[in-house]
Structure 1
Amino acid sequence: MARQPIPHPILVTARLRLRQFRTEDVDAMHECFANPEAMRFWNTPVHTKRLETERAVQRFIDCTPSYYRFWAVAEAGTDRCLGLVNYHDGHIRSRRVAIGYIVDPARHRQGIAAEAVSAMLEFCFGELGLHRVQALIHPDNTPSRALVEKLGFRCEGRLRDNLRVGDEWRDDMLYALLATERPSRA
């Protein structure tokens, strides 16, 4: 008997709808992935060809939810994709994951990433029952560091030469949020 796919949860906030990726999201994601400024802290190179983004979006659609899951961050009213949030390096059995996110640079400083990551955290701690969520952030990525700190993450230290991007080794700052440390939801 064929195994049924696990349904992709839709997460809804005041302004956003986090949903499964679709092939129609390629153009919107290419706005992020082809932008050198948006990609400068990612561990993948800038996408110079649309085909690279098509392949990435297909991987987001085909992901294995117990290890990683990607949500398209879409406007609630138009369903237009603005970016992504995800958990990865999943260890659902040991109740911990790492997270990532990117938003179209044209939509920066509007609170979209914070709203989307917050919704994903609710899912991770609530539905998945996770104990620990962590984020690895480049030391110079001040906006991303501020975002996770705003959401209650604590910096646990600097990981030297933690990530190889091309021929370059990069440091990461390790941030984590434990279920027991989450800000109150009053």
Structure 2
Amino acid sequence: MILETPRLIIRPLESGDLEAFLAYVSDEKTMHYLPEEPFNKTQAFDFISKHQGTQAEAFALVSKDTQQLIGHFIFEKYFGDHTYEIGWVLNPKFHSQGYATEAAKAIIQYGFEDLGLHRIVATCQPENIPSYRVMEKAGMRKEGFFKACIPTKDGWWDEYYYAILETEYFNQKL
């Protein structure tokens, strides 16, 4: 999958992305809302290696202006062949500039218009306000609130569950 938006190229991760990728996935604050600990260089390399090529489930977000990697998206099967999960991590230097929403909308469009999906879901912790705002701006709606459902080293996280159905996507386009 390679997609373009007005400001982004969305493509599989490449080995040349390693240093820019490591710059944000090694940061504790950036990784705070993810189940993984901050990555070291070996973990970052392994993640990129796993997600290269046509079977990729993680995709680079590259600025068209600078050709710089600014973050990545996960887009993977969630349940069967008809439901996918979407998620994102951006370098903090690029937060609050609309990049995540722009990419989310493009990936949701790809999911429904090219893959013929029935449903796309996303999750986040209630404290991660920017993340669920991206979900809402991308046309998703909150379906659930799961109390103490994700174990962490410090206890349990609550989780919001968002989704959009194919029919909702196409109705929004009208």
> What TM-score do the two structures reach when normalised by structure 1?
0.85
The 3-state SS of whatever aligns with 1:109 is: coil
1:27-54: CA deviation from partner (whole Å, max 9, x where unpaired) = 111122111111111111112x222211
Contact kept? 1:133, 1:177, Cα under 8 Å: yes
Secondary structure at the aligned position of 1:90 is classed as strand
- Is contact 1:92–1:128 with CA below 8 Å preserved after alignment? no
How many angstroms apart in 2 are the aligned matches of 1:163 and 1:26? 29
Which residue, out of 18, 37, 49, partners 1:26? 18
1:82 and 1:50 map into 2 onto residues whose CA distance is 17
Matched, 1:59 2:62: no
Question: CA separation in 2, counterparts of 1:124 and 1:111?
Answer: 20
Tell me the amino acid that sits aligned with residue 31 of structure 2: M
Local SS of the residue matching 1:37:
coil
Q: Quick check: 1:18–1:74 contact (8 Å CA) kept in 2?
A: yes
CA apart distance, 1:167: 5.7
Conserved? CA contact 1:41–1:141, under 8 Å: yes
String of CA shifts for 1:117-144, please: whole Å, max 9, x gaps: 1111111111111111111111100011
- TM alignment of 1:1-186, pairs within 5 A: 9-47=1-39, 49-61=40-52, 64=55, 69-91=57-79, 93=81, 95-166=82-153, 168-182=155-169, 184-185=172-173
* Count of matched residue positions in the alignment of Structure 1 and Structure 2: 173
| d(CA) in 2 for partners of 1:36, 1:155 | 27
TM-score (norm 2): 0.91
Give 5+ residue unaligned stretches, structure 1: 1-8
Q: CA RMSD in A?
A: 1.8
* Identity in percent: 27
What secondary structure is seen at the aligned counterpart in 1 of 2:86? strand
After superposition, the C-alpha distances for 1:37-84 in whole angstroms (9 at most, x for unaligned) are: 11111111112x22221111112216845xxx1110001233221111
> Matches of 1:82 and 1:117 in 2, distance apart?
14
Match of 1:3 in 2: none
Q: CA deviation at 1:109?
A: 0.8
76-85 vs 98-107, which moves further: 76-85
